[in-house]
A and B are shown apart, each in its own frame.
Chain A
């Protein structure tokens, strides 16, 4: 036998006991050549290209899943940002296009389609305003379409006017049906990558190629178990080394599966996102990894340091394993999707402010955080701005996917169901910040963006 029993069992255990899986295979599709003069023609062309480009996609995934024994949880498509496919001053045009995209995703059998996206980091055009206004309606009327709004980049700086508009859009999206779950399909971004496989922020970047496979792996359970097997009093270096080792293995598995799917579909480009993405399943938690290393609850003093170690070791192992690392590639800390993180909020160990601090050392931002629905729009703007500043200053992606709960009070638990999990509503610092947003304008880019 070319592999030892221990090696074989390690793989089997990682998959069966520790929930190692391919979280998502996201097919990026370039739709720029579908633009036509009339919206009806554009929509027809989009639908035809999507159906053609996804032929065999789901069947191939199913076969690979069975042959290699690794579950592939989500099958998604990311498209060229819709705001680049359609420029209209009629909101009905956007709603029509969105409905057709959603219908096409359902017809194909996709879990999600991402790319209802606009870029506002420099300015908000008249058509952007119409596009923005369509978001609350579109997300409440569609099932599988995901939207993202870019309000800042390290090159452009931070557009306060865009943040102002966006805050109202988020609140309105939650209000249409009094349902915060709709906001799980809406994310605000700084420095978004063009090959992100994860929703809600996935879109297909310009010039990324006609079709690209982007793979996202999930392995918090495998990392936690590996650390549990180490002696409790071992040096911190032993933890870093073990994380690198596991990260190498799970990245290699993800890269292999991604390349195999791409090969079978005749696609040459593959990008592997090595993000550690937790799920509400028992043990599949980033918080539990950190707690195992040595803090009582996630969010306790010391958490930022440990998350830095985890995120860094993960990248070192992953980058050794693959030359195709892309996407977000960090450690996710989505509150409701990670049982340990949600519990830490419930116990008062983790606050919104600490969460923001943590995003300095990991990916991706204030993610899946329920907040009271009666939050002042200005407070929400302030929260978004602070998170954008983290991304712009550090030249990395940050995001805000915050879920206003109509009638909700801090501490009350909210159920989102399935992989979206559950979490208590976070307490928000309501010290006023109106003056700032009455000024408007764009915060200039940081000196670190001038690299030429």
Chain B
């Protein structure tokens, strides 16, 4: 299974979860896990998603970044292995 972690940070307001998850739904990307916290005023959300079978993630990443701009939040996309390399011995 190919997985990625999408991180969303920014000033908290309504519609962030809906906006990002609808982009994922449009690409047929399944959300496996989701965590969300508010640190002060900052909204932080991390989504673990399944991208198995997606050969080129470019359109998805571009669309996510666009949606981030629209929602005025910062969106990052990283394949999961990079977190494992950095945080697990």
> Which residues of A are in contact with B by a Cβ distance under 8 Å?
1-3, 5, 7-12, 15-16, 63, 66-70, 249-250, 252-253, 255-257, 260
Docked pose: A260 CA to B78 CA in angstroms: 14
Chain B residue nearest to A67 in the complex (CB): B79
Given the known interface contacts A3-B87, A66-B58, A66-B61, the answer about A9 and B44 at a Cβ–Cβ threshold of 8 Å is yes
Residues of B within 8 A of A66 (CB): 57-58, 61, 77
- Whether A5 lies near B85 (C-beta < 8 A) is no
A145 vs chain B, min Cβ distance (A): 32
Contact across chains for A11 and B86 when beta carbons are under 8 A apart:
yes
A/B interface sample: 29 pairs, CB < 8 A:
A1-B35, A1-B46, A1-B48, A2-B48, A2-B84, A3-B5, A5-B35, A5-B44, A5-B46, A7-B83, A7-B86, A7-B87, A8-B5, A9-B44, A10-B87, A11-B82, A12-B78, A16-B74, A66-B58, A67-B4, A67-B57, A67-B77, A67-B78, A69-B79, A249-B86, A252-B86, A256-B81, A256-B82, A256-B85
- Asked whether A68 and B78 contact (CB < 8 A) given A12-B7, A252-B85, A253-B85, the answer is yes
- Interface pair A69/B76, CB less than 8 Å apart: yes
Nearest B residue to A254 via CB reads B85
Q: Does B33 make an interface contact (CB < 8 A)? A: yes
Shortest C-beta distance, A218 to chain B (Å), equals 15
The 5 lowest CB-CB distance pairs between A and B, nearest first, are A69-B78, A256-B85, A252-B85, A249-B86, A7-B87
A255 touches B85 (CB 8 A): yes
Cα separation A5 to B42 with both chains bound (whole Å): 13
Measured between beta carbons, the chain B residues less than 8 angstroms from A70 are 78, 82
Please determine whether A253 and B78 come into contact, CB atoms closer than 8 angstroms.
no
| Contact in complex: A69, B46 (CB < 8 Å) | no
Q: Complex Cα distance A112/B51, Å? A: 35
A255–B84 Cα distance when bound, in Å, is 12
Report which of B56, B57, B74, B83 forms a contact with A8, defined as CB distance below 8 A.
B83
Chain B residues touching A, majority SS:
strand
Output the nearest chain B residue to A64 by Cβ-Cβ distance. B79
Q: Interface 1/0s, chain B 61-89, versus A by CB < 8 A? A: 10000000000001011111111111100
| Residue B37 at the chain A interface, CB threshold 8 Å | yes
Q: A9-B7, A16-B74, A16-B76 are in contact. Are A68 and B82 (CB under 8 A)?
A: yes
Measured between beta carbons, the chain B residues less than 8 angstroms from A253 are 82, 85-86
Residues of B near A8 (CB, < 8 A) are 5, 7, 46, 83
Contacts A1-B46, A70-B82: A12 and B57 contacting too (C-beta < 8 A)? no
Chain A residues whose CB sits within 8 angstroms of the CB of B74 once the complex forms: 16
Cβ-closest chain B residue relative to A62: B58
In the complex, the number of residue pairs spanning A and B with C-beta atoms less than 8 Å apart equals 76
In the assembled complex, which residues on chain A have CB atoms less than 8 Å from the CB atom of B77? Answer: 66-67, 69
Measured between alpha carbons, how far is A67 from B84 in the docked complex, in Å? 15
Tell me, in angstroms, the Cα distance from A255 to B82 when the chains sit together.
Answer: 10
- Beta-carbon contact of A3 and B83 below 8 Å: yes
Write the nearest CB–CB distance from B61 to chain A, whole angstroms: 6
Q: Report Cα–Cα, A430/B7, bound state, in Å.
A: 57
Measured CB to CB, the closest approach of chain B to A355, in angstroms, equals: 33
**B57 → chain A closest CB, angstroms:** 6
Chain A residues positioned under 8 Å from B4 (CB to CB): 67
Q: Which residues of B contact A2 (CB under 8 A)?
A: 48, 80, 84
- Once the chains are docked, how many angstroms separate the CA of A256 from the CA of B81? 8
- Report how far A120 CA is from B77 CA in the complex, Å: 49
A285 to B4, CA, bound (A): 31
B60 CB, min distance to chain A CBs, angstroms:
10
Question: How far is the CB of A312 from the nearest CB of chain B, in Å?
Answer: 21
For A252, the chain B residues whose CB sits under 8 A away are: 85-86
CB–CB B87/A249 < 8 A = yes
Considering the chains assembled together, what is the distance between the CA atoms of A80 and B55 in angstroms? Answer: 35
Neighbouring A residues of B84 by C-beta, 8 Å: 2
Shortest CB–CB separation between residue B62 and chain A, in angstroms? 9
Residues of B2-61 at the interface with A, using a CB-CB cut-off of 8 Å, are 4-5, 7, 9, 33-35, 37, 44, 46, 48, 56-58, 61
Q: Evaluate contact between B78 and A11: CB separation under 8 angstroms.
A: yes
In angstroms, Cα B44 to Cα A7, docked, is: 13
Does B9 lie within 8 Å of A12, measured CB to CB?
A: yes
**A260–B80 alpha-carbon span in the complex (Å):** 13
Q: Complex: how many Å from CA A7 to CA B5? A: 12
With both chains docked as a complex, state the minimum distance between the C-beta of A159 and any C-beta of chain B, in angstroms. Answer: 43
Known: A1-B33, A11-B78. 8 other contacts (CB 8 A): A7-B86, A7-B87, A8-B5, A8-B46, A8-B83, A15-B76, A66-B61, A69-B82
Task: Give A271 to B26 CA distance when docked, in angstroms.
Answer: 40
**Contact of A11 (CB < 8 Å), options: B9, B33, B83:** B83
Q: Hey, which chain A residues are within 8 Å of B81, CB to CB?
A: 68, 256, 260
